[in-house]
Amino acid sequence: MSNPEIGQMVNVKGVQTNLHDQGSGFPVVLIHGSGPGVTAWANWRLVLPELAKSRRVIAPDMLGFGYTDRPADQQYNLDRWVTHVIDLLDTLGIDQADLVGNSFGGALTLALAIRHPQRFRRLVLMGSVGVPFDMTPGLEAAWGYEPSLAAMRRLLDIFAYDRTLVSDELAQMRYEASIRPGFQESFAAMFPAPRQRWVDAMASPESEIRALPHETLIIHGREDQVIPLQTSLVLSQWIDKAQLHVFGHCGHWTQIEHTQRFTKLVSDFLAEADV
């Protein structure tokens, strides 16, 4: 049986990168979050086919995540992840793209737009890291995950507002994903305790965020227990051309808990720039 999480392997300057590349039109890059066992497919499987109706959608497993290569030195930081995305765009021959970043991917989206402003047209930040905040119990649980089915079940309960989304099948699938060879080793190397330092390391300077010229859509779940809503309120104040959409009855999984609304919101926002 083929694994839907594996799209196509692309050699990105020596890094074998697993990515999903669907649709045609102006490209948008989807950057996943940092939960245990995460892949681009796990984050974006419901959104990909919808967005691909009107644009080219590229969803990579980031360096060290999913089925993309893990560096031999197991050293991870914002610089390496930013370089990986830019190298990916260069490899695919893409001069400019829109960016959608989920959580950890939001911090990466901000850093990419700050360092390479001409390479990106519009930004979407969802439950985003990237500004200072105090470590939450939810994020501590995610980054400090030790593999077990019970631990994964507890984690999914934290991530989702709607508990009916957290099925035994989903917990089993995500648990099995987290224990694939190499997965937990690289994950444990990314955010070792004390973990507040990694929240701080993922943040971009306020002055540089305020200088961003990009139209930016900021999305957050009101009941998010992983990344506090306050981070998006701050981003909406710091980014000049920002708009903020808050979903009620929503945890950290906006794109899964409110898939249709999320997809329409993002599609309409990106389409404004297509004209």
Question: Among residues 20, 32, 84, 252, which one is catalytic?
Answer: 252
Q: What is the pLDDT of residue 173?
A: 85
Pairing outcome for strands 215-221 and 97-102: unpaired
Q: What is the pLDDT of residue 166?
A: 86
Contact 143, 191 (CB under 8 A): yes
Query: What residue spans of the chain are helical by DSSP H?
Result: 40-44, 48-51, 78-92, 104-115, 137-143, 149-159, 168-178, 183-190, 196-201, 206-210, 229-238, 254-257, 259-271
The pLDDT-based confidence of 156 (bands split at 50, 70, 90) is very high
224 labelled catalytic: yes
Query: Do you know the residue count of the chain?
Result: 275
Distance CA 78, CA 140 (A): 19
Distance CA 47, CA 45 (A): 6
Q: What is the pLDDT of residues 176-218, one digit of tens each?
A: 989 988 888 899 999 999 999 999 999 999 999 999 999 999 9
Q: What is the pLDDT of residue 27?
A: 98
Percent of the residues in the chain that have a pLDDT greater than 70, as a whole number = 100
Q: What is the pLDDT of residue 1?
A: 61
Q: What is the pLDDT of residue 38?
A: 92
Q: What is the pLDDT of residues 59-69, one digit of tens each?
A: 999 999 999 99
Helix, strand or coil, per DSSP, at residue 138 = helix
Instruction: Pick the more confident residue, 121 or 1.
Output: 121
Question: Among residues 103, 128, 186, 204, which one is catalytic?
Answer: 103
The pLDDT-based confidence of 31 (bands split at 50, 70, 90) is very high
162 labelled catalytic: no
Contact 1, 21 (CB under 8 A): no
Distance CA 36, CA 27 (A): 27
Q: What is the pLDDT of residues 253-262, one digit of tens each?
A: 999 999 999 9
The model carries a pTM of: 0.97
Q: What is the pLDDT of residues 222-243, one digit of tens each?
A: 999 999 999 999 999 999 999 9
Say yes or no to pLDDT of 107 above 90.
Answer: yes
Q: What is the pLDDT of residues 3-19, one digit of tens each?
A: 999 999 999 999 999 99
Contact 5, 19 (CB under 8 A): no
Distance CA 206, CA 135 (A): 19
Mean pLDDT, residues 130-155: 96
Mean pLDDT, residues 74-100: 97
Question: Among residues 186, 224, 232, 258, which one is catalytic?
Answer: 224
